[in-house]
Structure 1
Amino acid sequence: MTILVTAASGQLGRLVVEALLARGAAPADVVASARDTSKLADLAARGIRTVELDYARPDTIAAALEGVDALLLVSGSEPGARVAQHRNVIDAAAAAGVAKLVYTSAPHAATTSLVLAPDHKATEEAIAASGVPAVIVRNNWYTENYAPDVALAASTGVIASSAGAGRVASASRADLAEGIAVVLLEDGHLGQVYEFSGDHAWSFEELAATASEVHGREVTYTPLTTEERIAALQAVGLDAGTAGFVVAIDSGIREGVLADADPTLSRLIGRPTTSLVEALQAAVQVVAAA
């Protein structure tokens, strides 16, 4: 079985390639794609076929899918263009007779008020309409999203957010990638919609306590109002649109949109998901080294 991983030069896609190999896929059976294949040179040196694939250029998608049995569509990140670009990949997958399409969606995409959800919901609907056999993997937040905040807390002693008492059932990218690799490699998942999350939904008080453990100093959580959060973000250089987006995420968390801890991911990977402290210890080291 030949498996193509899109966006393999990105953080999640690259981890999926590594997880496929770790779980027994032969390098010759894995295809890694990116808009810029020079970023995949190290994978090519390991015997993995690398191909150009640009969601916005259907000709590259059709060429990349030749001989492919299973396809991972990692959701794009271009606001306003994401759904159309995803449709390009879905249409090409249907034309190529791909036997399994796995899509990385958002938590409870069909019903949530999460600001990111509409594009994911539309993509899920496009996949269903295409008739391509598919598995929807709805990834909760990456734990690594909070590494910059935790790294900064080493000097400030503060984690600040307008998420209130909301909880986040985050998982590490590596755990999510491993779950995706399982779905790509194993039979029996077609037609499923999986909610992937960490085993534990943490509060921002717990995030601050974890930062204390990571840094060996006291870190406290400072809850902010929406207005205070916007002002703080703009004070460190974020434009109004970006600050508003971050605050919208905080509002969703406050309302519970990321709070569901689902056991599916740990069941599929055969172990508990990586703890908050372990994931952040590793992620903060990456931030410090950057």
Structure 2
Amino acid sequence: MILVTGASGQLGRLIVASLLQRGTPASQIIAAVRSPEKAQDLAEQGILVRQADYMDTASLAAAMEGVKRVVLVSSSEVGQRTVQHKNLIQAAQEVKVERLAYTSMLNAQHSPLALAAEHVETEQVLQDSGIPHVLLRNGWYSENYTGTVAMAIEHGAVLGCAEEGKYATAARADYAEAAAVAITAENQAGKVYELAGDNAFTLAEYAQKVSQVSGKNVVYKNLSEAEYTNALVQVGLPEGFAGILADSDAGAAKGALFDDSKTLSALIGRPTTPIEDSIKAAL
């Protein structure tokens, strides 16, 4: 039995889909979700849906019954992640799971991004647990930018503070497939994968690609980190989250979101999804 956490979320759903596509029977997949009513479509496919809350250790213990492998999709609750992940890892440890795959961050150990800290802490918890594990250090999702492509077209601008920093992005589905491979293939325990897209781009180049795909003129406007944070707040983002996004852009300016190893495409056995395709899909 393979348990996928956050299975009703964007990445978790894609991991479940990829497991099915790769031949894992639905009856061997457990979708661990906080709200089972949001995973009714998964249950209808024959997948076992179990309620599990990162902060409810009893629910985690119950969800782990009969589980041999776990895909720990990192929590979206920044500031709570380490505690939440530790609770899940302890539940997995108690049932002696044979493998756990964790979605960490690209070059987590050396990343200047504020988001990296909780990933590093989680990796250490995993190391200390003794559970055989594989680290999936995911780079930036293409959807982090294409999710707001309509707004960029409307205003004729992509905003950021990444300067000439390169983003080696890939589609969520690419990272999901990597997780499915890592949890099902042989000889994965102990592996650390630095995962990123095959083709990197600056935000100025991204704006050019948006222009080419949409037929509308879109340019990149580089701001200071403080200016970009303020711009994000003005469009409705909470100040703390806006600061995290701006910090990530500033980190990209230092090369934190670039990787040219092509480890991801090698793992999944195909090229990663070009950013142009993700732009088209978003539109």
Q: Give the TM interval when normalised to the shorter protein.
A: over 0.9
Aligned-pair CA distance for 1:3: 0.6
Aligned to 1:207: 206
Match in the other structure for 1:99: 98
Q: What's the CA shift for 1:245?
A: 2.1
Return the TM-score normalized by structure 1: 0.94
Alignment of 1:47-196 (within 5 A): 47-196=46-195
Following the alignment from structure 1 to structure 2, what is the Cα–Cα distance between the partners of residues 44 and 102? 23
Paired letter, 1:159: V
1:4-43 to structure 2, matched below 5 A, reads 4-43=3-42
CA contact (8 A) 1:149 1:159 kept: no
Runs (5+) with no aligned partner, structure 2:
none
CA apart distance, 1:200: 1.4
Deviations, residues 142-184 of structure 1 (Å, cap 9, x unaligned): 1001024321122222112111001111110001001110111
Counterpart residue identity of residue 114, structure 2: V
Aligned length: 283
What amino acid maps onto 2:237 in structure 1? L
Deviation per residue, 1:164-217 (Å, 9 max, x gap): 001111110001001110111111111011011101121112100111122112
Mapped contact 1:76–1:82 kept (Cα < 8 A): yes
Q: Is the 8 A contact 2:106 2:194 kept in 1?
A: yes
Is the 2:146–2:278 Cα contact (8 Å) retained in structure 1? no
- For residues 132 and 26 of structure 2, the distance between their equivalents in structure 1, rounded to whole angstroms, comes to 24
Residue type at the aligned position of 2:55? A
Query: Residue type of the partner of 2:69?
Result: A
Quick check: 1:278 aligned with 2:280? Answer: no
Query: Secondary structure of the residue that 1:66 maps to in structure 2?
Result: coil
SS of alignment partner, residue 247 of structure 1: helix
CA contact (8 A) 1:197 1:261 kept: yes
Q: Per-residue deviation at 1:80?
A: 2.4
Contact 1:198 1:262 in 2 (8 A): no
Counterpart CA distance in 2 for 1:84 and 1:231 is 30
Contact 1:161–1:222 (CA under 8 A) maintained in structure 2: yes
Q: One-letter code of the match for 2:98?
A: A
SS at the partner of 1:76? coil
SS in 2 for 1:261: coil
Question: 1:272 is paired with a residue of what secondary structure?
Answer: coil
Secondary structure in 2 matching 1:31: strand
1-structure distance, mates of 2:176, 2:135: 14
Alignment-derived partner of residue 288 in structure 1:
none
Aligned to 1:256, the other structure's residue is in SS state coil
- Supply the distance in 1 between the matched residues of 2:220 and 2:84 (Cα, whole angstroms): 39
Per-residue deviation, 1:9:
0.3
Instruction: Return 129-138 or 77-86, whichever deviates more.
Output: 77-86
Contact 2:167 2:202 in 1 (8 A): yes
CA separation in 1, counterparts of 2:184 and 2:229? 44
Q: 1:187, 1:66 → 2: CA distance?
A: 23
| Cα distance between partner residues in 1 of 2:67 and 2:245 | 38
Q: CA deviation at 1:232?
A: 2.3
Report SS of the residue matched to 1:98: coil
Shift of residue 239, structure 1, vs aligned partner: 4.3
Residue 227 of structure 1, CA deviation: 3.5
Q: Unmatched 5+ residue regions in structure 1?
A: 286-290
Aligned-CA RMSD value: 1.3
